[in-house]
Homo-oligomer: A and B are copies of this chain.
Amino acid sequence: MRIALIGYGSVGKAFARLLESQRKRFPFRITAIQTRKYTAYDPKGLPIDPEWGPPASVPEFLDKAQPEVVIEITSLNPVDGEPAISHIRAAFARGLPVITANKGPIAHAYASLRAEAAAHHILFRFESTVMDGSPVFNLVRNNLPGVTIHGISGVLNSTTKVVLAEMAQGRSLADGVRLAQEMGIAEADPAYDIDGWDSAAKTAALANVLMDANVTPQMVERTGIGAITPEEIQAAAAAGFVITLVSRAKREADGSLTLTTRPERLPEDDLLANVDGTSNVLLLHTDLMGTQGIVSVTPGVEQTAYGLFADLVDIAQQL
């Protein structure tokens, strides 16, 4: 199966390594890569460090690459999800299935992308957009038939967890951000994490896909952690509470959706307060299956790459 990658950063390279390691069982080949500055093509399959040629627009690239699947992994534009949304539409326009690890399109334009994919009978997968590749969307689709999700709660941003843990030790927010950057987990602009935009985008993506919402991150009631002091965290800890950035989506009795991302003061034995380090936790509140929890333990770029791979296997089985 011929794969075209749009974007080739750390996730793309981890994905290329993963495909190499699984080649015997899964005959997938990356035959084209496009970045902002370069392109590379080889219908027999590209090496992890390919020889780069001149740049091309995404439509030019796709027309030359002639892939069977397109993987969109450009870096996130948190404001409106572009240009990733246009990249996906360019693939759809050519009848090509798309996998993305980019939460922008799912947080900003899922309802219309879903409709476009359905109208053209094209598969569209995005497992790695919210929980670093842990089964969330595929879990609900494959394993929870008949279930209605009426609420979601989660601690979904690793950077704020690291920062708040540092502040609990008496260090400053800036110290915490520095540590998260050293660990390689903070977004390019850490304000995107600290101000709650990353968590709000994940909340919107989850609500769009799992609760049939049609919202954007801007529609999530959002408070970041910028105003929290080390003293506040330490006073909470002394009283048996943990302050953490929690994302929630809830279907109200009147059918409306309430979406929030904000620091919450949780009892220290609350599951949401209790998943340490960079690990994330997501709880799905359902009608038939009670509450179902998913924990992504110390996720890294390899997990995100694996989520792309799982989506690829899913698409390959259906083509």
**Minimal beta-carbon separation of A126 from chain B (angstroms):** 14
Instruction: Let me know if A271 is at the binding interface, CB within 8 A.
Output: yes
Interface mask (A135-168 → B, CB under 8 Å = 1, otherwise 0): 1001100111111000000000000000000000
Q: Which residues of B contact A281 (CB under 8 A)?
A: 293, 295
CA separation between A292 and B294, bound complex, in Å? 8
Instruction: Let me know if A85 is at the binding interface, CB within 8 A.
Output: no
**Minimal beta-carbon separation of A234 from chain B (angstroms):** 17
Q: Which residues of B contact A291 (CB under 8 A)?
A: 297-298
Known contacts: A139-B139, A297-B292. The answer to whether A146 contacts B309 by CB under 8 A is yes
Interface mask (A252-289 → B, CB under 8 Å = 1, otherwise 0): 00000000000000000101001110010101000011
Instruction: Let me know if A129 is at the binding interface, CB within 8 A.
Output: no
Q: Which residues of B contact A181 (CB under 8 A)?
A: none
User: Closest residue to A137 on the B side, CB-wise?
Assistant: B143
CA separation between A135 and B289, bound complex, in Å? 10
CA separation between A147 and B310, bound complex, in Å? 10
Instruction: Let me know if A134 is at the binding interface, CB within 8 A.
Output: yes
Q: Looking at the complex, which of A106-114, A192-200, A300-308 is the stretch in contact with chain B? A: A300-308
Instruction: Let me know if A296 is at the binding interface, CB within 8 A.
Output: yes
User: Closest residue to A133 on the B side, CB-wise?
Assistant: B289
Instruction: Let me know if A79 is at the binding interface, CB within 8 A.
Output: no
**Minimal beta-carbon separation of A24 from chain B (angstroms):** 10
Structural contact, A306 and B289, CB atoms closer than 8 A: yes
Partner of A135, one of B25, B143, B297: B143
User: Closest residue to A286 on the B side, CB-wise?
Assistant: B306
Known contacts: A139-B139, A288-B302, A288-B306. The answer to whether A146 contacts B313 by CB under 8 A is yes
CA separation between A295 and B298, bound complex, in Å? 16
Contact surface of A with B, Cβ cutoff 8 Å: 18, 22, 25-26, 133-135, 138-139, 142-147, 269, 271, 274-276, 279, 281, 283, 288-300, 302-303, 306, 309-310, 313-314
Counting from the closest, the 7 A-B pairs by CB-CB distance are: A293-B295, A291-B297, A135-B143, A145-B313, A274-B274, A142-B142, A138-B143
Contact sample, A vs B, 22 pairs, CB 8 Å cutoff: A18-B288, A25-B146, A138-B142, A139-B139, A139-B143, A143-B310, A144-B310, A145-B309, A147-B306, A271-B279, A279-B293, A281-B293, A283-B297, A288-B302, A288-B309, A290-B297, A290-B299, A290-B302, A293-B295, A293-B297, A294-B294, A294-B295
